[in-house]
Each structure stands twice: as C-alpha cells, then as structure tokens.
Amino acid sequence: MGMNYRYIAVEGNIGSGKTTLSKMIAEHYGAALMLEEFENNEFLPKFYSNPERYAFPLELSFLAERFQQLKDLQHGANLFQPLTVCDYYLSKSLIFARTNLNDDEYKLFWKLFNIMFQSIPKPDLLIYLYASVEKLRSNIRKRGREYEQKIEAEYLEKIQSQYLEFLNKYAGQSRVLLINMENGDFVKSTSNFNAILDKIENQLVEGIQTLNF
C-alpha cells in the first residue's frame, strides 16, 4: 500500500453506498472500520414520521454519537491498525442540521458542533460518492428499510446541494476524491473497485479529484 493515510472518511447522500465502500476498503487494507450506528437511533423512524417534532433531538443525538466515536479514535481505540476507515465525517451533522432545523435551532446546533469539531481528528482523505437523486431513490428502494421509503426526491436534492456546497469549501485545504457512481458499481465490478483503490494510492493532492466510470 503506497500511501501514508491513517484516517479515511467515506461520505455521500442517503443510499449512495458509503457504508458498503467503507467495509470493502477496510477489508482490502486490513484497516480498522468505524461505522455509524444509525440503526440504534430511536429518533430516526420518528423523524421520518414527524420531522418538525423530532428533527432537533435526532440531530443532537447523531452529533453526540459521532463525536464520541471520533474521540475514541483520537484516543487510540485502534492502535493496532495503521489505517481507520469511517463511513461518515462529523461535518455530516452540520449538513443534515442545515436541511432539517429551523434557523433558531440551527444557530444553537452550530455552536455545539463548532465546539466539538475543534477537538476531533480530521481525515487524511475524504471520499464522496455522488449519484443522481433517481439512482439514490432506486438504491433506497432496493435495500428496503421501511422508514426510508417515504423519503422524497426534494429532500435528497436538498441534502445533495448541502454536501456539494460543503465539499467546495472543504477542498480548499484537504484532499477530496469525488466518485461519480451514476454508471458505476464497485460491488459488482472489480475494475471499478480497483480504480478507486488506484486513486486512493495515488497520494492525491489537496482539492477535489474526480473519478468517473
């Protein structure tokens, strides 16, 4: 493995395949794997049923859980593996909060986020999986989580817009690999997955680098 990364974060919209790719990269490199524990969040199904009531507790609970996991990483929870792969980055909290919270709630949330953000490790490489809203909805239908089936295209579009705005700002001082998944399938196509590995191992420079299949 011709690279010096210690921490890779994989990001993307709902249904983009970030957890699957994170698992595959971690397995390939024998890396530590850190996954978001969203299935244990009792507020998530409630949020999809009643967004206005449950958005704030949902975003706070996600922020607290993500922060705790990343602090554990910082304090050496994975000392025996030189690389950790994570299927989210803490800034995800801010992206979803901006979409889901009203202005007053978001201002408070941002203050809490900013305090936490200063003290967590930053990834050496951020991978973003891009797919159209149509493909995201198809992926969501295929994986069959009941509470996700009512997610509207407009919501996914808002999240996508927030992510792309974030990436443009973030890439000014960090490495970002944007993978266009519209015509790709790294699970079924070995060549697609190998192309991702080649990009990772190329020691990317700061800014946004893209990979199209």
14 in Cβ contact with 136 (< 8 Å): yes
Enumerate residues 6+ apart whose C-beta is below 8 A from 28: 197
Q: How far is the C-alpha of 145 from the C-alpha of 126, rounded, in Å?
A: 26
Listed range (15-24, 54-63, 83-92, 141-150) with the worst mean pLDDT: 141-150
Q: pLDDT at position 92, please?
A: 93
3-state class (DSSP) for residue 179: strand
pTM here?
0.90
Q: What is the mean pLDDT of the chain?
A: 90
Q: pLDDT at position 79, please?
A: 53
pLDDT-based confidence at 80, cuts 50/70/90? Answer: low
Tokens standing for residue 32: 């530590």
Structure confidence by residue, pLDDT tens digits, 113-172: 999 998 888 899 999 999 999 999 999 998 878 878 888 999 999 999 999 999 988 888
DSSP E strand stretches across the chain: 7-12, 32-34, 84-86, 125-130, 175-180, 207-212
Four-residue CA torsion sign, 71, 170, 17, 5: negative
Enumerate residues 6+ apart whose C-beta is below 8 A from 26: 32, 33, 83, 85
C-alpha separations of 109 from 59, 106, 121, 126 in Å: 8, 5, 20, 23
Cite the active site residues.
87
pLDDT-based confidence at 77, cuts 50/70/90? Answer: low
Q: pLDDT at position 202, please?
A: 85
Give me the mean pLDDT over the 67-90 stretch.
Answer: 79
